Amino acid sequence: MTASEGDGNGWVVSAGGDRRWGRFGAAGLLLRAADPTDPDTPLVLLQHRAVWTASGDTWALPGGARDSYEDAPRAALRETEEEAEIRPADVVVRAEVVTSRMPGTVWHRPGLDMRHAAEMLRRLRPDQRHDEELDESGTDSTGAGAGADAAAGAVRRPRVLPPLVQESPDSVEWTYTTVIADAPHALETVPNNESLELRWVPETRVADLPLMPAFAQAWANGLRSEPVELVVDVANVLGSRPDGWWRDRAGATGRLLDELGAGMPRTLELPASAGRPTPAGPRSATSPPAGPPAHAAAFGWVARAHAVIEGAARAAEHSGPFVVHRAPGSGDDAIVDLATEVDGGPRRVVVVTADRGLRDRLPGNVLVVGPRTLLG
């Protein structure tokens, strides 16, 4: 695919001389896909950067500069299509997080500068004097005409080539946004000239590669995921959408499970209480080193999912990935029993509900997210 030239190309330069690519910031796509050989460990798409790029010969995410009219997901998807030929329609965006930031000023190339082009073409002509500057009257700095011989010893002003690089006087904050998304499987990729290789890597092996320093830091500080065992309070999730579910509770439940199941396995954003670190600006030399987050993984990979249904909804049918539990009595009681049973196992237990009473009854290690987290 041919890359389009937007208005985001250029550097943001800090007071200390550090440079970051992207006049309006940059964005990259962290794309996960299921590994058929290991349901608990997703594959992550990584780019082995060409040696001529910034931090070349390291591994990072597909991505690049944002244009002025783009939000982070649009920029990340565009860059991934340019660098890997993965279509935006083939992935589902789950979340976005700013993983790096830096204050500075913008240095950029303003595009095709016609003054610069005209001057370069003039210098290619052998019949022109190339070392003098003419004023508006057509005379040079000595007052002689362009074709006249200059007086001996006259001082000529050198021609000044219009700059191709300009600096903005306004301060900006450069940010890099990591956009998290899922693919239904490890999609085929076609690298462009910015890549030595594109590879689907098991998530547990990502840190074994020589990573781009900024990506390595972001990966260690919360981008990686952990396997999740999901328990869905179906009655609560169903009730969060006024779509007429009460007219046919069993049918609406079946449709909901089919809808949610179509996106499994998937990345799930974990609540802030799980310990997501807040991205910070550059630390001074006297700042203490940041300690490890309380809970490093800010995202979960839904490796196994349960749906608890009760009452009239127990007649619902579902042949997808959810393990359906038909509660003989209270759905809340069944959810508490199930969460307690699987808590402490190999996966982090996450319950989807907005019921505060139910949340208070769950074991302390169980995380709770609301229906919006699952429904998007």
Give the model confidence (pLDDT) of 338-362 as tens digits.
999 999 999 999 999 999 999 999 9
Q: How far is CA 275 from the centre of its chain?
A: 20
How much is the pLDDT for 121?
Answer: 61
What is d(CA 94, CA 102) in angstroms, rounded to the nearest whole number? 25
Q: Name the architecture of domain 11-110+164-221.
A: Alpha-Beta Complex (3.90)
Residue 57 CB neighbour total at 10 angstroms: 13
Tokens of 347: 């996966």
Query: pLDDT at position 169, please?
Result: 76
Domain ranges of the chain: 11-110+164-221, 226-274+293-374
**Which residues does 76 contact at the CB level (< 8 Å), separation at least 6?**
27, 28, 29, 62, 63, 177, 179, 181
pTM of the predicted model, to two decimals?
0.79
Given a cut of 50, is residue 151 above it in pLDDT? no
What are the strands, taking DSSP E only, across 76-210? 92-108, 166-183, 195-202
For residue 325, give the nearest of 364, 345, 346, 333 by alpha carbon.
Answer: 333
Contact (Cβ atoms closer than 8 angstroms) between residue 49 and residue 196: yes
Arch. (CATH architecture) of 226-274+293-374:
3-Layer(aba) Sandwich (3.40)
Would you say residue 73 has pLDDT above 80? Answer: yes
CA distances from 245 to 60, 103, 192, 250, 328 (A): 45, 50, 48, 8, 21
Instruction: Let me know how long the chain is.
Output: 376
- Taking CA atoms, 178 is separated from 22, 181, 196, 202, 342, in Å, by 14, 10, 21, 19, 32
When pLDDT is averaged across residues 197-212 and rounded to a whole number, the result is 97
Q: What is the CA radius of gyration of the chain?
A: 29
In whole angstroms, give the CA distance from residue 41 to residue 297: 13
Give the pLDDT confidence of 18-60 residue by residue, as tens digits: 999 999 999 999 999 999 999 999 999 999 999 988 788 999 9
